[in-house]
Amino acid sequence: MARPKLCYSIGNAASTTLSVATANSDTSITITSDTNFAAKSGEGMILIDESQATEEIAYSASKSGAVLSVPLANRGLEGGSAQGHAINATVKGVLTAGMYNDLVDSLSNVVNATTGALDTTKVVDLTTAQTLTNKRLTSPKINENVAVTSTATELNLLTGVTALLTASGTTTLTNKRITPRVVTATDDASAVIDSDITDQYQLTAVANDTVFTVTGTPTAGQKLIIRVKDAGVAKALTFTGFTAIGCTIPTTTTANKTTYVGAIHNATTPTWDVVAVTTEA
């Protein structure tokens, strides 16, 4: 075990001597008394031969009886080197500058070094509104003790209440209001309606002959309402891909009036079945 970044204190008032001489290549140190050397099972920083030419800072990894285990990587720390020590050399538990500075550096990874407050640019807390990017949640639980089972693709596509719906089968919603997707366009001789994003298409101030075409991938039974506002002079209307069902598809606008065309997508044909046509009085 090499000396860890965050070091333990070996014990309060830990002070004794060597009962066996120690070479600079030894990985164990036998002390006269292990009293106060077991705060963390013998792990901690020690100072050998204090104030002597052979003074050495080392880190004990563990203790067995009165024998401290000190790997070579833990000898001669904090700018020193491993030394040989004679019998009766002093051994003390110490707190060093390196230990303290490493502690401060480690805390600075999660707290602001100036204020000491939690640095929410580096860590997530329980109350601050934070944006997480490129983080993976494994078996997340939201507001209750139930694991989320949606796939990543489903979670990306579903929002709000739609996240409660299954990918297949029939789901019944009661007392839920669905706002139609309304697309408004100005006068255009070629009106292209995208059924993937449109439930109601409103064409205002029509002053040109207009051809209506529907694109996208509509579902069977999908509804579409087309609202055409004439600009003052009747213009020709052409509905491409539409079939009249019990009504007549309008071929012109009525001057200064608004015409409504209601259609349902017939996936078998496929076509848009026009089931209702009306012009304001």
pTM beyond 0.85: the answer is no
For the segment 81-92, the average pLDDT, to the nearest whole number, is 98
How far, in Å, CA of 252 to CA of 259, rounded? Answer: 9
**What would the pLDDT profile of 245-275 be if each residue is shown by its tens digit?**
999 999 999 999 999 999 999 999 999 999 9
How far, in Å, CA of 141 to CA of 146, rounded? Answer: 6
164 three-state secondary structure: helix
Whether pLDDT at 147 is above 70 = no
**What would the pLDDT profile of 118-129 be if each residue is shown by its tens digit?**
888 888 888 888
* Cβ atoms of residues 83 and 49 within 8 Å: yes
How far, in Å, CA of 26 to CA of 39, rounded? Answer: 23
Q: Is the peptide bond preceding residue 180 cis, with omega within 30 degrees of 0?
A: no
Place of tokens 């000190």: 70
pLDDT of residue 163: 47
Place of tokens 């800072």: 57
Place of tokens 């008032």: 13
Where does the pLDDT of residue 205 fall: very low under 50, low under 70, confident under 90, or very high at 90 and above? confident
**What would the pLDDT profile of 152-190 be if each residue is shown by its tens digit?**
666 565 555 454 555 555 666 677 778 899 999 987 789
Whether pLDDT at 53 is above 90 = yes
pLDDT of residue 176: 77
Place of tokens 């019998």: 87
Looking at the DSSP assignment, which residues form a beta bridge with residue 213? Answer: 192, 240
**What would the pLDDT profile of 14-41 be if each residue is shown by its tens digit?**
999 999 999 999 999 999 999 999 999 9
**Domain regions of the chain by residue span:** 15-99, 182-279
pLDDT of residue 83: 97
Question: For residue 203, what are its two tokens?
Answer: 């064409």
